[in-house]
Amino acid sequence: MTAHFFLDETKQRGCSLAVVSLAPTAVRPARAALRNLVLPGQRRLHMKSERDSRRRLIVSAMVELEVQAVVVDAGRRYGTDLERRDRCLRAVVAHAKNNEATTLVIESDETLIHHDRQLLYAETRAQGYERLRYEHRRPFEELLLALPDAVAWCWAKGGESRRRVESVVSDVIEV
């Protein structure tokens, strides 16, 4: 199965990455569904900025889209945030290879783009999976980044929020 992966990070309780997988044929309909949720004046959907009722609406839409997500969790293990992120990204490449993903879209953090690119370049070659194309995009440029944002936010929040996304989270990979 080929897939497109969309990735966002949360640093609550250490470092976790949420990776949402969509089949290539599901990308366009998913974008349209999310576009319908963007309110006038909004550039993007962002769980941190939404009211609770909107958060529930976004998660319900995600569940309806039948996306699959994986949470890669480094917790507070390792010495620095950067090392935690590196461990998570290495696991994402392995997961991408196992699922024959062709595209990885990462929410852009300008301070990490160069570092991420170096790590992903080296890791895709080390794992023998050079067909993975990766890019950093800002959330208003790629609306589908709202999906891993929602998973990451709900997962880190815990409780009822986590229960709402458990049906789309197929695995938690601890690194």
CATH number (domain holding residue 124)? 3.30.420.10
Q: Give the pLDDT confidence of 73-116 residue by residue, as tens digits.
A: 998 888 899 999 999 999 999 999 999 999 999 999 999 999 99
Question: What is the reported pLDDT for 30?
Answer: 96
Domain count, the chain: 1
Residues 6+ apart with CB under 8 A from 61: 33, 34, 37
Question: Cα separations (Å) of 3 from 35, 118, 157?
Answer: 21, 23, 27
Q: State the angle between helix axes of 52-64 and 146-157 in degrees (0 to 180), rounded to the nearest 10.
A: 120
Task: State the residue range of the domain holding 108.
Answer: 3-174
Rounded to whole angstroms, how far apart are CA atoms 87 and 103? Answer: 19
User: What order do you get walking across the sheet with 101-107 strand by strand?
Assistant: 133-137, 101-107, 3-10, 15-22, 68-75, 169-174
Q: Give the model's confidence band at 1: pLDDT under 50 very low, under 70 low, under 90 confident, else very high.
A: low
* pLDDT tens-digit map of 39-58: 999 999 999 889 999 999 99
Terminal alpha carbon distance of the chain: 24
φ and ψ of 133, to 5 deg:
-95, 130
C-beta separation of 147 from 45 below 8 A: no
